[in-house]
Chain A
Amino acid sequence: MSDEILLKMRDVWLEGRSDETWNPIINDVDLTLKKGEVLGLIGESGAGKSTLGLAAMGYTRDGVRISKGSVEFDGIDLLTASAAVKRALLGKRIAYVAQSAAASFNPAHKLMDQHVEGPVQHGVMGRGESEADGIELYAKLRLPNPDEIGFRYPHQVSGGQLQRCMTAMAMSCRPDLIIFDEPTTALDVTTQIEVLASIRDIVEQFNTAAIYITHDLAVVAQMADTIKVLLKGDEVETADTRVMLATPTQEYTKSLWAVRSFERPLKSAVQTGSVPVVSVQNIDASYGTVPVLHDVSFDMHEGRTVAVVGESGSGKSTAARCITGLLPPTAGQIMVDGDVMPPDYRKRSKDQLRQVQMIYQMADTALNPRMSIGQIIARPVEFYLGLKGAEKRKKVDALLEQIELEPSQYYHRLPSELSGGQKQRIGIARALAAEPKFIICDEVTSALDQLVAEGILRLLARLQDELSLTYMFITHDLATVRAIADEVVVMKDGRVVEQGPKVEMFTPPHHAYTDLLLSSVPEMDPDWLTNLLAERGVDNIGDAAVDKM
């Protein structure tokens, strides 16, 4: 890093169009980037960080405009420069790495053809030279078969590898600045690590300045020299990474940091011999002829939370579908309170259905958009408990109060008039309305921003204490597990890899996969990635077993 200033954005205002009116996206944000500096841009969804990142390239998407301010790159004003001048900069001196590599590579051309396009068109290198350089970059980014991978089509390469190919493509002209727009958000944790490590190395090696956009604090802590926090288009604060992590000055930043520290008190061990509320016993299941679950067993006891963790495709949601009866298992059985449940939900009695309730990941699709909040919650009340008229209304009001929403205010609203967190609360109320013993929470916080997610976790914890509910908590996020779980079940490829009380799970020695999973979760410590890599040894960060195609 030098003191020479590369990018200077001053008083930038951005607006987006909806229905003929322009609404603010970014209000009066300044941004300064020195040569070789990495700036982390963080904020929740809707904070305007991607739009700001693109504006740093002098580019706006359709329906967005820069209404005020200046963007100066190395002395060139990008907002007044002609199209030709800007084109000469883009790709050559400023490059972009998009969130979804799979969508951002042209499906019709080979990776290498897309890689060399920038250097050749900008006249930086010839095709042959650029190809050789590309292979070298692939090797530097620790891609398997660097000589060969570039000659595949995008759909023939896995997500984590594509993301690194895109980083290589951004590097192809050795730019002064790269904008990384949430490059690892779509990846699993174990894959994310490799991409993070390779991005960090290559940026350091070529002394490239970068703007790293993400919503994940722990990730940005590994990558950035400086952090800028955005909230709804306003800048909250900017500081050096270590300073920011140690002593945030603003309330909002502090609250973001605090989320990570929520943790429930430990519960005493389960009494031996007590009957579990739900018991999954040796189930196998398959979609059509494709087997997805193999001999899965675990128990869930009253008043406890069992977290089922695993990466996408590990079979954790399938296990939930077996419990609810949507996917009858091909072998094994589900027991509730010591009684065997019919495998198909259509064969279950009303009371058996009532016992098992579910809260969904996407609150948007879980609530009928044409029904009011009152109707949504009242339906199970009427259906299961047989309440009518004033009694029904009273029960619904009580439920709304339980989820901390004012009944008179929300009863007649439609789901579309609620925020994401409020919708998720309605989902909880609908599950509670059945007065169940057992609730399956399927990734209930993963679509929410951190602060909102924490509110939901706290609410679920409180309800559990009050009503002694049993939760099956499906998640891929280990921070959530740490916060709320009593017991943990780790799944991989349709099998239970390891299970036990939380304390045991988080203390070594682990099963190899649990270890990989646990250690791959980024921590707020800025030295975490460096230490981890040293621990694992540079050659083995990737763990080829996970990153197979």
Chain B
Amino acid sequence: MGNVLTIILQRLALGLLTLLIVSIVIFIAVNLLPGDFAESILGQGATPEAVASIRKDLGLDQPLVVRYFDWLGGVLRGDLGTSFAQANFASFTGTDSGATTVAQQIAPRFANTMFLAMITAMIAVPFSIFLGVLAALYRNTVFDRATNIFTLSSISSPEFFVAYILILFLAVLNPIFPSLSTIFEGMPLIERVERSMLPALTLTLVVTAHMMRMTRAAIINLLASPYIEMARLKGLSPMRVIVKHALPNALAPIINVIALNLAYLITGVVVVEVVFVYPGIGQLFVDSVQNRDIPVVQACCLIFATAFILLNLTADIMSILSNPRLRHPK
């Protein structure tokens, strides 16, 4: 076991290192901006004094390295900085709106996005693994070919196409689900699920296709291995061949598939949230991109990247854990 532990610790350390480098990349990218944040906040007619004071407030007069560590320290304490839009608003009205920090802005939306991802995963994971295994077992049949065409098509379609098709059929022509996902705090769970259903279904369709194809490939690969043939030639029932001989070895690839696709969800969630006006982090991200609200963009980017790296890391570690060669060294 010591062997495996070392490998896992190595992977964890590598993941942390990657995360650190990614944070540097994001920070530098943001600081590539021309001119000055302060000027862009105050607009064209800003007096030099006002600019200087804002610069000092935001710590922009410090050197780059100091600012990076300030920012990183803040991030680690949960302080993601101050939103420009909010700061701007506050400086105009002279009041404190109460939600000026990025963290306060992001927190509820982050929860909403997690909720959406969770619903999607709950539908997509069992569904796609079931279909994937089925397609692998009955490969080269009409069923397999039809699912192949269907999944290829849905992988190829942009998320907003799938979204509008679903709106068309499930919201407009047959009003089953609402086409706008207005969600607020304190909403009953059932209603919340109902309103999140269309975005969740859209994501499901896109992710299922990927997950199903990967599951199918993994299972076919597995079923072609000599030990499965051996199990069949020992006269075991098809059920036992699958459960006892295929499944323990299929676990690693399938967990891998799930983790990779949950990571893929992160990208998909942005467009889908915009289509359905779902109040999640993706929509906030796009809004901030359009308003050039740099601190928010930076924070969202970091959150997305962290989730992405964590999921990939999970996939990695899971496949190490389920490898008998590593679990039982010579």
Direct chain A–B contact by Cβ atoms under 8 Å: yes
Which residue of the partner chain, among B225, B232, B244, contacts A103 with CB atoms under 8 Å? B225
Q: A6 within 8 Å of B by Cβ?
A: no
Q: Which residue of A lies closest to B236 (CB)?
A: A121
Asked if B78 is an interface residue, CB under 8 A from chain A, the answer is: no
Evaluate contact between B234 and A117: CB separation under 8 angstroms.
Answer: yes
The residue in chain B whose Cβ has the minimal distance to the Cβ of A156 is B330
A61 within 8 A of B: yes
Instruction: Output the least CB separation between A182 and chain B (Å).
Output: 12
Flag whether B302 is at the interface (Cβ < 8 A).
no
- Chain A contacts with B in 125-184, Cβ cutoff 8 A: 153, 155-156
Q: Chain A, interface size: which category?
A: 20 to 34
- Pick the residue among A91, A100, A103, A107 that contacts B324 (CB under 8 A): A107
Q: How far is the CA of A87 from the CA of B225 in the complex (A)?
A: 20
The contact of A155 among B226, B235, B240, B325, by CB within 8 Å, is: B325
Contact B235 A153, beta carbon cutoff 8 Å: no
- Residue B227, interface by CB 8 Å: yes
Q: Is A89 an interface residue (CB 8 A)?
A: yes
A71 in the interface (beta carbon within 8 A) = no
B230 contacts across to A, CB distance below 8 A: 96, 98, 104-106
Q: Are A103 and B233 in contact (CB under 8 A)?
A: no
The answer for the CA separation of A155 and B244 in the assembled complex, in Å, is 18
Assess the A104–B330 pair: CB atoms within 8 A: no
Contacting pair A108 B225 (CB below 8 A):
no
Cα(A353)–Cα(B234), bound, Å: 55
Interface residues contributed by chain B, number (CB under 8 Å): 22
Instruction: Tell me the minimal C-beta distance from A124 to chain B in angstroms.
Output: 11
Taking the closest CB of chain B, its distance from the CB of A91, in whole angstroms, is 4
Interface flag for B192 (CB, 8 Å) = no
- Nearest Cβ in chain B — how far from A103, in angstroms? 4
* Interchain CB contact under 8 A, B226 and A117: no
Question: Are the CB atoms of A107 and B325 closer together than 8 Å?
Answer: yes
CB distance from A49 to the nearest CB of B (A): 17
Task: Tell me the minimal C-beta distance from A73 to chain B in angstroms.
Answer: 13
Q: Is the CB of A90 within 8 A of B237?
A: no
Mask of B221-258 contacts with A, CB within 8 angstroms, 1/0:
00011110111111111001000110011000000000
- The reply to whether A121 and B235 contact each other, CB–CB distance below 8 Å, is yes
- Within the complex, the shortest CB–CB distance from A170 to chain B, in Å, comes to 9
- Taking CB atoms and an 8 Å cut-off, the chain A residues in 62-107 that contact chain B are 62, 86-92, 95-96, 98, 100, 103-107
A60 CB to closest chain B CB (Å) equals: 11
- Residues 191-225 of B, flagged 1 when their CB comes within 8 A of A and 0 if not, give 00000000000000000000000000000000011
A109 B248 Cβ-Cβ under 8 A: yes
B328 contacts the other chain (CB 8 A): yes
Please measure, in the bound complex, the distance between the C-alpha atom of A549 and the C-alpha atom of B233, giving whole angstroms. Answer: 29
Of all chain A residues, which has the CB nearest B234?
A: A91
- In the complex, what's the smallest C-beta–C-beta distance from B294 to chain A, in angstroms? 48
The reply to whether B328 and A87 contact each other, CB–CB distance below 8 Å, is no
Q: How far is the CA of A108 from the CA of B249 in the complex (A)?
A: 7
Contact indicator A108/B237 (Cβ below 8 Å): no
Contacts A108-B249, A155-B324; A90 near B229 (Cβ below 8 A): no
In the complex formed, the residue of B with least CB distance to A61 is B229
Q: A residues within 8 A CB of B240?
A: 121
Q: Are B233 and A90 in contact (CB under 8 A)?
A: yes
CA distance A304 to B115 in the complex (A): 78
- B324 to A98, Cβ gap below 8 A? no
Query: Which residue of chain A lies nearest to B328 when distances are taken between CB atoms in the complex?
Result: A153
Nearest B residue to A113 by beta-carbon distance?
B244
Flag if A104 contacts B226 (CB, 8 Å): yes
- Nearest A residue to B227, CB-CB: A106
Return the chain A residue nearest B246 by Cβ: A106
The answer on a CB contact under 8 Å between B226 and A107 is: no
User: Across the two chains, which residue of chain A brings its CB closest to B329?
Assistant: A156
B324 engages A117 (CB within 8 Å): no
A427 within 8 A of B: no
A57 within 8 Å of B (CB atoms)? yes
Spell out B's residues near A (CB within 8 Å). Answer: 224-227, 229-237, 240, 244-245, 248-249, 324-325, 328, 330
Can you show 14 pairs from A to B with CB atoms below 8 A apart? A57-B233, A59-B233, A90-B235, A98-B229, A103-B225, A104-B227, A105-B230, A106-B227, A106-B231, A108-B249, A108-B324, A122-B235, A155-B325, A156-B328
Q: Which 3 pairs, one residue from A and one from B, show the smallest C-beta to C-beta distance? A: A90-B235, A91-B234, A91-B235
